[in-house]
Amino acid sequence: MSEEAKSGVVTSASAPGDKASVLVEALPYIRRFWGKVVVVKYGGNVHGAKPGERSVDADGALACFAEDIVLMRSVGMLPVVVHGGGPQIGALMERVGKEVQFLDGLRVTDADTIDLVRMVLVGKVNRDIVSSINVHGALAVGLSGEDANLITATARSEALGYVGDVVDVDPVIVHQLLAQGLIPVVATIGTDQSGQAFNINADTAAGALAAALGAEKLVFLTDVAGLRAVPDDPSTLIHQATAEDLDHLVSTGAANGGMIPKVESCARAVRFGVGSAHILDGRTPHALLLEVFTDQGVGTMVKAAG
């Protein structure tokens, strides 16, 4: 970067041309995705702010994300935001003296914990995202999977308590909001037939919702740059993969920990008709726009084989 650019003084006549080039590069993607649903899972590790605290980095990342979502909607795409909030849930549990327990990578969720989960996801994280988007206009509407039976769930196991698996997704309310030009923001709480609430893995819920909506794209914003052939080696970033490639990554252990539900959701989504799935580092400014509207992209893109 030149000293002029660093100081904020631009003397080169090419600067406006550079901006025009970016817009021209984006044009075919805008045309291709006009009127298409894009489900974006915004990870709790990107948002990062703990209950009762404000983080400059987290606030900046959320504001940048909100700008991307609004721009996508402004050029004719139909974004649907799905979010988790694991770090925020854990922080609140610690503050109230509740022991945090995990089993097979999932949070053990008893009756008290499910109340805390609902407080954080529906009452805090969802509100933060909705408010950030609505800075740019009356666009976002907050939802829970409990609303209008959006996500029906069942208990995964007795040992995990109120941790649920997705049984069914009824996307009618989401379609209605999209038809009104609004941006649904979905907290991943589901309910069973009796109305009991369950904590749903947000990656799994995002994939299920994308499939139910017939989405063109499913995008995971997380805290890594994408999938790696060797987990600890950034130089092995995988730019493109098939669902079968993802199966291999899981079976060999190259995808592990919190990456497993993202990988499995990507594979399942493209097999059920979603056009493509993407895993990006949401901490990169405007990563969402760079992946969707540029030739190069910035993360991992997954498509069905053939």
Please spell the DSSP secondary structure of 96-158, one letter per residue. Answer: TTPPP-EETTEE-B-HHHHHHHHHHIIIIIHHHHHHHHHTTSS-EEEEETTGGG-EEEEES-T
CA 264 to chain centre: 14
In contact, 90 and 49? CB cutoff 8 Å: no
3-state secondary structure of 183: strand
Residue with the two structure tokens 């993360």:
299
183-187 and 140-144 beta bridge pairing: parallel
132/129 Cα distance (integer angstroms): 5
The two tokens of residue 240 are 């493109």
276-281 and 300-303 beta bridge pairing: antiparallel
Pick from 10, 9, 8, 81: nearest CA to 46: 81
Residues labelled as active-site residues: 41, 44, 86, 203, 262
